[in-house]
Chain A
Amino acid sequence: LAKTTQPISMDSYEGQEVNITCSHNNIATNDYITWYQQFPSQGPRFIIQGYKTKVTNEVASLFIPADRKSSTLSLPRVSLSDTAVYYCLVVPSATGGSYIPTFGRGTSLIVHP
Chain B
Amino acid sequence: GAGVSQSPRYKVAKRGQDVALRCDPISGHVSLFWYQQALGQGPEFLTYFQNEAQLDKSGLPSDRFFAERPEGSVSTLKIQRTQQEDSAVYLCASSWPLRTKSYEQYFGPGTRLTVT
Contacts and interface: CB of A to CB of B under 8 A. Distances in A.
Interface of A: 32, 34, 36, 41-46, 49, 85, 87, 91-95, 98-106
Contacts of A101: 33, 35, 43, 45, 105
Contacts of B99: 93-95
Interface stretch (B14-22, B66-74, B79-87, B106-114): B106-114
Which DSSP category, helix, strand, loop or mixed, fits chain B's interface?
loop
A103 B42 contact: yes
23 contacts: A34-B104, A42-B107, A42-B109, A42-B110, A43-B4, A43-B91, A43-B93, A43-B107, A43-B109, A44-B91, A44-B105, A45-B107, A46-B104, A46-B106, A49-B104, A94-B98, A95-B98, A99-B48, A100-B48, A101-B45, A103-B35, A103-B42, A104-B42
